């Protein structure tokens, strides 16, 4: 079993004992099972999935880090939301605005990457909230 803790600057979002967790990291999606090797990685905007027995849960996570050590998975994220917490219309509008902005980008590469991460987060939110239908 794994101890999964997800924390944002505002609150502790989740503290559960789980069988498995899948996390979107900067180097790709990773699956974590008990006795996973120690790891620290930055998060990429995406959907974190966890299972315990026959139940599972999903959250959108972005902008943060994950640490895996001694069967404990600690996710420190700026954003961690369930599907119920997502305003689909507001997120859809945000996604459209970001796509327009990035399609005619003339700024720095660093600012582009920051805006692209916001777009990735909006896409992950819509994917979770609508079941993949955007």
Q: Is the pLDDT of residue 47 over 70?
A: yes
Burial of 37 (0-12, 13-18, 19+ CB in 10 A): exposed
What is the structure's pLDDT at 70?
Answer: 97
Which token pair is 16? 């559960």
pLDDT band at 133 (very low <50, low <70, confident <90, very high): low
Question: What secondary structure does DSSP assign to 81-130, as a single string?
Answer: E-GGG--HHHHHHHHHHHHHHHHT--S-HHHHHHHHHHHHHHHHHHHHHH
Q: Is the pLDDT of residue 134 over 60?
A: no
Which token pair is 101? 């902005």
Q: What secondary structure letter does DSSP report for 19?
A: S
Q: Which residues contact 10 (CB under 8 A, 6 or more apart)?
A: none
pLDDT band at 106 (very low <50, low <70, confident <90, very high): confident
Are 13 and 59 in contact by the 8 Å Cβ rule? The answer is yes
What is the structure's pLDDT at 132?
Answer: 67
What percent of the chain stands above pLDDT 90?
Answer: 87
What is the rounded CA–CA span in Å between residue 134 and residue 108? 29
Residue that is written with structure tokens 């004992």 in the block: 17
User: What does the domain layout of the chain look like in residue ranges?
Assistant: 2-83, 87-130
- What is the architecture of the domain spanning 2-83? Sandwich (2.60)
Element (H, E) at 53: none
Q: Which of 2, 108, 66, 90 is nearest to 98 (CA)?
A: 90
In this structure, of 29-38, 83-92, 100-109, the range with the lowest mean pLDDT score is: 100-109
Mean predicted confidence (pLDDT) in 14-35: 96
Each residue's pLDDT tens digit, 70-82: 999 999 999 999 9
What is the structure's pLDDT at 131?
Answer: 82
What is the structure's pLDDT at 105?
Answer: 86
């Amino acid at each position: 079993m794994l101890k999964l803790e997800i924390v944002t600057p505002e609150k502790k979002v989740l503290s559960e004992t789980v069988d498995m967790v899948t996390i979107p990291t900067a180097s790709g999606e990773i699956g974590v099972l008990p006795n996973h090797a120690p790891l620290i990685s930055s998060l990429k905007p995406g959907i974190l999935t966890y299972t315990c027995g026959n139940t599972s849960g999903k959250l959108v996570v972005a902008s943060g880090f994950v640490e895996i050590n001694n069967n404990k998975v600690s996710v420190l994220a700026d954003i961690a939301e369930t599907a119920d917490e997502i305003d689909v219309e507001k997120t859809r509008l945000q996604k459209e605005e970001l796509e327009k902005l990035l399609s005619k980008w003339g700024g720095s590469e660093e600012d582009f990457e920051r805006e692209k991460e916001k777009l990735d987060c909006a896409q992950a939110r819509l994917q979770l909230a609508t079941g993949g239908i955007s």
